[in-house]
Amino acid sequence: METRKEQKERRRQEIIQAALELFVGRGYAATKITDIAKRANMSTGLMFHYFDSKEKLYEELIRMGLEGTAYPGEQKCEHAIDFFVNFTEALFAYMKEQPVVAKFFVLMAEAQRSEATPEHIREIAMKVNVIEQFVPIIEWGQNEGTIKEGSPLVISNAFWCSIQGIAERFATNQDIELPEAEWIVDIVRRK
Amino acid sequence: METRKEQKERRRQEIIQAALELFVGRGYAATKITDIAKRANMSTGLMFHYFDSKEKLYEELIRMGLEGTAYPGEQKCEHAIDFFVNFTEALFAYMKEQPVVAKFFVLMAEAQRSEATPEHIREIAMKVNVIEQFVPIIEWGQNEGTIKEGSPLVISNAFWCSIQGIAERFATNQDIELPEAEWIVDIVRRK
DNA sequence: TATTTCATTGAATATTTATTCAAATATATC
DNA sequence: GATATATTTGAATAAATATTCAATGAAATA
């Protein structure tokens, strides 16, 4: 038998999951509280028992997205390019296994990009800054000759934009077959 | 002196431009008619003199996006890979010169992807199907050995997701330096 | 079992946003 | 210049959506 505490936590999770799917599928602004309630099988009123407002619910999801975004350090790779291969393969495998991962990519991207995002929420979302995190790895790879010449920041940006584009497509259409990780790594690989 | 016809057309364009910028910057649902009116320097009432509704205005923009999406055929390239290089270089140059191009990428992507898009508008947006258009070129390149092995559709998808990701980033932040076209073409290039 | 506390509902209210419209102003036509 | 036609405004209305709340039922505690 479920305790009240457990039940409360489950309900919370049901709301969070429904909201994630809708925010990703329709965008935050186009998602109605009633839609979320319907998908979570509850009345609209009950939503407010768990979250003070639609915006607070959004904030909670963005916080979750931020916490879930723990990218590995330089690992134990012989070459920088191996880091990219391992990372990309792991990410794609993870997205296939847990489609929620791709959904969080889309959620965070919208929060970062949209001018309609409430400022305090955008600030939280902006703490995810993967592009800069990959710069030192690219510099390492350029020194050893496994990664292309060029501005590390611009290269990192190209890589991440591609990952982002792929995640966005996959998040809303899981029938799409993900590309080989190597193909995407070729963006940064020196020939 | 401006004739009435000219003035009407100018006003129309002012609305269209303001709407494009806002739809791209905030998303369709988060953009208020009053925002558009303000940006176009007119009263909200006047908007409805030019467009019957927010949705009709959206439809008009999506139609424009569809028309503007005329991709070249196989051109006169010696190798399929050259087609990709020329195409990508031309696209990036065009985006730098006319940032509106990147904005249309984002507009069309939202219309295609979002479950909140009115069905008849989504149908129009869906007519842009660049991924399939590039399949025969990839097949050609695979036969001559300049393009990677693998499902042409999946390769085309990988390429376009990257282009999409880059366009989305550039559309909202033109300070971002675009990557070298060659880097992105490396997604499809055979080593 | 009685009592208290928490979960839940859905209709009522508040708020936001799209749309209409009557009146005012400007431009064209005669 | 007089009349007609088109543009423009902004306040009024309508529609959509978020939020509140009083009432109900269910679970925990005594």
Q: How far is the CA of B14 from the C1' of C27 (A)?
A: 20
A161 CB neighbours in chain B (<8 A) are 162, 165-166, 168-169, 179
- Give, in degrees to the nearest 5, the angle at Cα B166 between B70 and A24: 100
pLDDT of residue A70: 67
- Give, in degrees to the nearest 5, the angle at Cα A137 between B171 and B166: 15
DSSP A147: B
A&B contacts, CB < 8 Å = 131
Whether residues B161 and A168 touch (CB distance < 8 A) is answered with yes
Average pLDDT of chain B is 95
Total-model pTM? 0.94
Q: Residue A157: count other Cβ atoms within 10 Å of its Cβ.
A: 23
What number is the average pLDDT over the span B100-121? 97
> How far apart are alpha carbons A81 and A72 in whole angstroms?
14
B157 CB neighbours in chain A (<8 A) are 169, 176-177, 179
Residue A3: CB less than 7 A from any atom in strand D: yes
CB of B126 within 8 Å of any CB in chain A? no
What number is the average pLDDT over the span B86-102? 96
Q: Which band of pLDDT confidence, cut at 50, 70 and 90, is reported for residue A72?
A: low
How big is chain B, counted in residues?
Answer: 191
Residue A142: CB less than 7 A from any atom in strand D: no
A38-42, A166-170, B7-11: least confident range: B7-11
Please determine, for residue A74, whether its predicted confidence score (pLDDT) is greater than 60. Answer: no
A164 CB neighbours in chain B (<8 A) are 165, 168-169
Whether residues A179 and B158 touch (CB distance < 8 A) is answered with yes
> How far apart are alpha carbons B119 and B160 in whole angstroms?
24
Please determine, for residue B129, whether its predicted confidence score (pLDDT) is greater than 70. Answer: yes
pLDDT of residue A1: 62
Report residue B100 as tokens: 């509106």
Q: Which amino acid is at B31?
A: T
Q: Which of A183, A189, A191 to mutate to test the interface with B (most CBs of B within 10 A)?
A: A183
Tell me which nucleotides of strand D come within 7 A of a protein CB.
6-11, 17-22, 27-28
Q: Which amino acid is at B88?
A: T
pLDDT of residue A137: 96
Q: Does the domain spanning B65-185 belong to CATH 1.10.357?
A: yes
Please determine, for residue B50, whether its predicted confidence score (pLDDT) is greater than 80. Answer: yes
Please determine, for residue A2, whether its predicted confidence score (pLDDT) is greater than 80. Answer: no
Query: In this predicted model, what pLDDT tens digit does every residue of B150-180 receive, in sequence order?
Result: 999 999 999 999 999 999 999 999 999 999 9
Among A3-7, A76-80, B89-93, top mean pLDDT goes to: B89-93
In chain A, where the domains are located: 4-63, 65-185
Whether residues B168 and A163 touch (CB distance < 8 A) is answered with no
> How far apart are alpha carbons A103 and A31 in whole angstroms?
15
CB of A166 within 8 Å of any CB in chain B? yes
Closest approach of chain A CAs to the CA of B66, in angstroms? 20
A179 closest CB neighbour out of B157, B176, B183: B157
Q: Which amino acid is at A154?
A: V
In a 3-state reduction of DSSP, which class is residue A44? helix
Query: How far, in whole angstroms, is CA A82 from its chain's centroid?
Result: 22
Query: In this predicted model, what pLDDT tens digit does every residue of A97-130 receive, in sequence order?
Result: 999 999 999 999 999 999 999 999 999 999 999 9
Q: How far is the CA of A53 from the C1' of C1 (A)?
A: 40
Q: Residue A20: what are its φ and ψ, rounded to 5°?
A: -60, -50
Matching residue, tokens 């300049």? B146
B70 versus B121: which is more confidently predicted?
A: B121
pLDDT of residue B72: 59
CB of A189 within 8 Å of any CB in chain B? yes
Q: Which band of pLDDT confidence, cut at 50, 70 and 90, is reported for residue B75?
A: low
Annotate A70-127 with three-state secondary structure.
Answer: CCCCCCCCCCHHHHHHHHHHHHHHHHHHCCHHHHHHHHHHHHHHCCCCCHHHHHHHHC
Nucleotide nearest B49, CA–C1', reads D7
CB of A161 within 8 Å of any CB in chain B? yes
Tell me which nucleotides of strand C come within 7 A of a protein CB.
6-11, 17-22, 27-28
pLDDT of residue B1: 62
Average pLDDT of chain A is 95
Query: In this predicted model, what pLDDT tens digit does every residue of B58-74 receive, in sequence order?
Result: 999 999 999 987 665 55
State the DSSP string of B12-23.
Answer: HHHHHHHHHHHH
What number is the average pLDDT over the span A169-182? 96
Nucleotide nearest A34, CA–C1', reads D17
* CATH class of the domain defined by A4-63: mainly alpha
